[in-house]
Amino acid sequence: MKKIHQLTDLSAALNRKEYPAGSNCPRIVRWLHRLGDMRFPAALAAVLAFAPATRAVITLDGATTLSLGGGTNIYSWSHSVGTGANRMLVVAVTTESNQDRTVTNVTFGAQALTQVPGARTANNGGGATYNATDLWYLPAPAVGSSTITITLSGNVSGGLVAAAVSLFGAVQGPPEAVTNYNAEDVGGSTYSASITPLTDGAWLVDVVNNSTVGTAFTPVDPSQILRWSEPGVNHAAAGSTRETRLTTPPGAVTDSWTSTGTSRRALSVAAFAPVTIPPPAADIVAFGLPGLPAVIDQSLSTITWTLPHGTDVKTLAPTYTKTLGATCPKASGSPQDFTSPVHYVVTSSDTLTQHDYTVTVTLLPLIVTNTTISEPGRAPRQYSLALAVYCLGSPRETCPPARF
């Protein structure tokens, strides 16, 4: 049903003559009309290939890392955030310790991060040493350089490897999906976890931990981009990002790694949704002259302009207002001949959408009426009055003075 609704929406857009600029859609629309049914999904599907998709995109701002030995429960380093819109800071923490030490607090300057629910995992291989991964996030981190400080529940005996990854274009809230994985020291070298993103273009941000110092990590999927890697002091860690494509219904994506190390390992993954930015519009939102506005029907792509009787329609110079950044070959205020309908084709700022408006001018009629006028001392006389209707505006105060 969702697909049919999308096709119906496309049908309406094509009937409004609103289609990607420079595309073959006008020709295809004429062909589809000849088929006799613009609502037929199989016919409309042919048009989809000609319409470029508009989708939100997350981009990487930067990544920094820290790798230190144990003996403390507080770790810090400097990270810089750029000036992009919809910023998101993700801090990945990995530890190796004889006791399972949990992260209790992460800050970026004066801003506190929030732990990603369900991200943390740890494995001790049946022994006393734990290898753990964890993720924390901060919407709208302050622009500029600040200190990231990680506080743990107790001193870490082995060491800590951490990283900060800052993004642009992310929804300013918690991740939309989370998963984790851990395995014992049984000679394996793979890490794999399934996660189901809910938004097209969502980014997976992950972190892997292996208890073997100097381990080299390799992402399995080509779209999974290695963003940082540290050989570590007592363990090694790495992280990647991956842009995902949404399926209908949403399907699971596998986040996978291989490594040269084959001992205890852990993996945490979170999916961050991109901000959906409406595509630039190609609309005329006002049209006419002072006191003589036209009526715009966006759904039909028509502009109906009613003017006083006797107006010279061959030299009209209407002004109009269009959506931000849009362009139109017919400049606002330029003279046009409205003897027959005139087309105003508006192109969006990204040149992907055109809106073809048909402007029709109609003159108000000349009304002829008979009336009898009585004057003192004279016989009643009948007159024929020709009244030119100049304005049908409301309220009346907006109309110019009537003329006879």
Q: pLDDT (tens digit, 9 = 90+) per residue, 363-380?
A: 998 776 666 666 677 777
pLDDT at 392 over 70: no
CA distance 256 to 43: 40
The pLDDT of 254-274, averaged and rounded, is 93
pLDDT for 163: 98
The tokens of 166 are what? 């800052």
- 60-85 core/surface letters (b: 16 or more CB in 10 A; e: else): bbebbbbbbebeebebebebebeebe
The pLDDT of 272-286, averaged and rounded, is 89
Residue 95: closest CA among 131, 51, 143: 131
pLDDT for 277: 72
pLDDT for 137: 98
Q: In the CATH scheme, what architecture does the domain 279-404 have?
A: Sandwich (2.60)
pLDDT for 166: 98
- Could you tell me if residue 126 is left (phi over 0), alpha (psi between -120 and 50 degrees) or otherwise beta? left
> Which of the two residues, 26 and 171, has the higher pLDDT score?
171
pLDDT for 77: 98
pLDDT at 233 over 80: yes
Query: Which DSSP state fits 331?
Result: -
> Which of the two residues, 385 and 193, has the higher pLDDT score?
193
Query: Which DSSP state fits 168?
Result: E
pLDDT for 372: 67
Percent of the chain with pLDDT over 90: 65
> Tokens 């990544």 belong to which residue?
63
pLDDT for 67: 96
Give the SS3 label for residue 322: strand
pLDDT for 55: 56
Instruction: Provide the residue type at 72 as one letter.
Output: T
pLDDT at 106 over 90: yes
pLDDT for 249: 75
pLDDT at 295 over 70: yes
Residue 170: closest CA among 26, 35, 15, 276: 276
pLDDT at 30 over 50: no
Specify whether the CB–CB gap between 311 and 295 falls below 8 A: no
CA distance 287 to 305: 8
Find residue 149's DSSP bridge partners: 76, 107
**Cα distances (angstroms) measured from residue 28 to each of 22, 52, 344:** 13, 15, 21
pLDDT tens digits for 32-51?
444 444 444 444 444 433 44
pLDDT for 40: 42
Please give the mean pLDDT across all residues of the chain: 83
Residue 395, preceding bond cis, omega within 30 degrees? yes
Specify whether the CB–CB gap between 378 and 389 falls below 8 A: no
The pLDDT of 275-281, averaged and rounded, is 82
pLDDT at 24 over 70: no
Query: Which DSSP state fits 338?
Result: -
Min mean pLDDT across 229-243, 289-303, 362-376, 377-391 is at 377-391
pLDDT for 128: 80
pLDDT for 371: 65
> Which of the two residues, 280 and 400, has the higher pLDDT score?
280
> Which of the two residues, 6 and 153, has the higher pLDDT score?
153
Instruction: Provide the residue type at 15 as one letter.
Output: N
Banded model confidence at residue 101, pLDDT cuts 50, 70, 90: very high
> Which of the two residues, 277 and 67, has the higher pLDDT score?
67
Specify whether the CB–CB gap between 73 and 152 falls below 8 A: yes
CA distance 44 to 189: 49
pLDDT at 399 over 70: no
pLDDT for 378: 73
Banded model confidence at residue 16, pLDDT cuts 50, 70, 90: very low
The pLDDT of 54-63, averaged and rounded, is 84
**Cα distances (angstroms) measured from residue 37 to each of 19, 34, 378:** 18, 8, 70
Min mean pLDDT across 117-126, 171-180, 207-216 is at 117-126
| 302-307 and 354-363 beta bridge pairing | parallel
Burial of 293 (0-12, 13-18, 19+ CB in 10 A): middle
CA distance 338 to 356: 16
- The ranges assigned to domains in the chain are 2-48, 59-272, 279-404
